[in-house]
Structure 1
Amino acid sequence: MKRLLIFCIAMAFFSCEKEGDGFPEDCLTEKINANDKIKGGSILQVYRLRIDGKIIDLAQKTNINWVALSPLVQLEELCDNHPCFDVNDEVELMKVVIPNMIQSGISNIMLKPLTSFWTVNGSGFWGDFYVNTEEEWKPIEKTYTELFYEFAKLSEEFPEVKLLSIGNELKEFTKRRPQFFKTLIASIRKDFPNLKLTYAANWDEYQSVSFWEDLDYIGVNSYFPLVNKETPTVNEIKQALSPIKNNLKDLSCTYDKPILFTEYGYRSIDYAAWKAWLLGDVSTANHNFEAQNSGYTAFYDTFWDEDWVAGGFFWEWKILSNGEVNNPNGNGWYVNDKPVEKIIKERYSK
């Protein structure tokens, strides 16, 4: 009788799960069809697209079906006696860049502004930014709302703008002011109901974000420190990603939201799968294509076929302008003309 009871309990447990590595049946998260994956690339040097409207052959070389535009926006210390972003300049830039993207054949766009607060309190990294008093927070939150509201309005003029990230790696800001972000999300949803929303949480932040339920995607910038070796193997990186995968799957199931990798990538450098923020400035001194290739391959092998993963945006594509020639031996994040470009294209073609 005891053995029969144990057998029945075990059968009941396994009957509640899908076959394979997907969700338990009682997890309501929308299943992402392979054909609907967001196969994206990221552009940081958005301003260069104003100088030279040529998008080159990003889509042809990588098979992307989405692009993330990530202009860097600086919060000025004083503007009419309060901190402010230069909203008009950024919006006008987007009105030039977005049509260029559309003309190049890219019809799915995420806007993901990167907001810097250096002039306010000297925060070298935006994730460390915060102020101490309500009096200080209010004008910052007001201008932040104005900035993102103007970015959201671009979706009315350009229907190809289908997704907006309402922040990027703002660990202290989101932790200290969650109600502000919930209010911002509700406001944008009300006025722009066709615009999908996410937030791009850094790898060490996503578990503490308290407003995932208000968004369409759980956004994660996947820069996890994985293997402390110059050139780790694909299997070593996959093993390091395994517990992270389990945590993300649980989080997705908890909130009934798919995971979107708002940024993912590896530098072509020694220790590319370790602590990326410690790897120093870009040069050609120790470029390591194998380390970059292994990182991308392990990432795709681990996440890409999961039906709780909406897709992602590789970081990043370099924009060349005014006759500039790319040097593929640079050990930065760029994938242009490096061996990893073919890996991305192959995975995105499936």
Structure 2
Amino acid sequence: MKNVIPFLLCSLLLQSCDSQTKKINAISFVASREQVNQEHLDPIVKLNANYAAVMPFGFIRDLASPEVLFNTDRQWFGERKEGVTQYVEQLHANGIAVMMKPQIWIRRGEFTGYLKMTTEEDWKVFEESYQDFILTFAEVAAETDVALFCIGTELEQFIIERPQFWNTLIAEIKKVYKGKLTYAANWDEYKRVPFWEQLDYIGVDAYFPVSESKTPTVAEARQGWQPWKKELKEVSEENNRPILFTEYGYRSVDFSGKEPWKSEREMPGLNLEAQTNLTKAIFEEMYPENWFAGGFIWKWFINHKEAGGMENHMFTPQNKPVEDIIRQHFKETR
């Protein structure tokens, strides 16, 4: 009997450690005009990703427009039902799980968090239109057996103004789709989302400011994460739900840790080292935490050979030094 208790303790510890290392190692797979084929998927497999977000889009004319236009012939293949289904099936065939993440795009790229109707009549039209959009893709998610469904992305004013709608929407989604649910809250919104206990993950688009340096070191960026980690852990414990980064990533530009949400094309100062160091800091600070489920890197384009590169200053890690960092980290934590 002397050896039984130590053996059991070792087994439990190994199980605990194993469960903590199985993270969601994911990319945000950008929709395209074309069908996805194996050549498009091989780089994701080689990245050691175990999840991908598939993102059908609905379009709105402006911040006060109540109609969501979606699944139309004018949209790209990967944004419509047929394309989403094809993407999911091909990802599944490669052993990659999927989060379906329907998103709204407002003309001229206005921030969805400000989306707000001005009359009760428009609110009702918008609610009906948005529910139709979400339930359409919840049905696709059920039909294709995706592992995770995201009910919305960065819609703070919509949630503040119409809380009952969201309770009803979640109940309607659960009638259609039986997998796990999340919502992608902006980094400065997630603490105020009232319905986390109805979902499985606290989704955060993690563009937290962590450094004001032109080229932050890994150590500096890790230090910058400390107050945010404390806050994230508290919200996780309060709601008894793990944190999932529904988006995270950095531009390969100077000062990219200062306001990581910025995406203006004219941002100056190509800086691949800043992107690499900031990404390393997330891996080193967040992934060891058992309340952290993993995350979806923003963003990954279908034609890998043509994407990113050493002169590219946008978010994608493709064909940049940070891609190798991601590949190694995903290998170690899959």
TM-score by length of 2: 0.85
1:43 pairs with 2:9: no
Q: Distance in 2 between matches of 1:326 and 1:237?
A: 23
What SS is found at the alignment partner of 1:41? strand
The aligned residue for residue 167 of structure 2 is 182
Q: Distance in 1 between matches of 2:181 and 2:114?
A: 23
Q: Distance in 1 between matches of 2:272 and 2:186?
A: 25
1:93 pairs with 2:75: no
Deviation of 1:95 (Å): 2.2
The aligned residue for residue 343 of structure 1 is 325
1:328 pairs with 2:317: no
The aligned residue for residue 9 of structure 2 is none
Conserved? CA contact 2:307–2:318, under 8 Å: no
Decide whether aligned partners of structure 1 residues 230 and 82 sit closer, same or farther in structure 2, where only a CA change above 3 A counts: closer
Deviation of 1:51 (Å): 7.3
**Equivalent residue letter for 1:94:** V
Q: Distance in 1 between matches of 2:309 and 2:260?
A: 21
Match of 2:287 among 304, 309, 321: 304
Deviation of 1:184 (Å): 0.7
Conserved? CA contact 1:263–1:314, under 8 Å: yes
1:222 pairs with 2:206: yes
**Equivalent residue letter for 2:100:** L
Q: Distance in 2 between matches of 1:310 and 1:269?
A: 28
The aligned residue for residue 107 of structure 1 is 96
Q: Distance in 2 between matches of 1:273 and 1:324?
A: 26
Deviation of 1:231 (Å): 0.4
Decide whether aligned partners of structure 1 residues 192 and 246 sit closer, same or farther in structure 2, where only a CA change above 3 A counts: same
Ranges in structure 1 where 5+ consecutive residues have no aligned partner: 1-29
Give the structure with higher Rg (CA). Answer: 1
The aligned residue for residue 287 of structure 1 is 270
Deviation of 1:100 (Å): 2.7
Match of 2:105 among 110, 116, 119: 116
Conserved? CA contact 1:292–1:340, under 8 Å: yes
The aligned residue for residue 8 of structure 2 is none
Match of 2:244 among 244, 260, 263: 260
Conserved? CA contact 1:34–1:305, under 8 Å: yes
- Aligned-residue sequence identity (percent) comes to 37
Q: Counterparts in 2 of 1:1-350, with a 5 A limit?
A: 33-44=19-30, 46-50=31-35, 54-75=39-60, 83-87=67-71, 90-103=80-93, 105-118=94-107, 124-159=110-145, 161-193=146-178, 195-278=179-262, 280-281=264-265, 286-320=269-303, 324=306, 327-350=309-332
Q: Distance in 2 between matches of 1:278 and 1:52?
A: 32
Q: Distance in 2 between matches of 1:136 and 1:288?
A: 45
Decide whether aligned partners of structure 1 residues 339 and 252 sit closer, same or farther in structure 2, where only a CA change above 3 A counts: same
Decide whether aligned partners of structure 1 residues 115 and 344 sit closer, same or farther in structure 2, where only a CA change above 3 A counts: same
Residues matched between the structures, number: 309
Ranges in structure 2 where 5+ consecutive residues have no aligned partner: 1-15, 74-79
Conserved? CA contact 2:91–2:97, under 8 Å: no
Decide whether aligned partners of structure 1 residues 57 and 331 sit closer, same or farther in structure 2, where only a CA change above 3 A counts: same
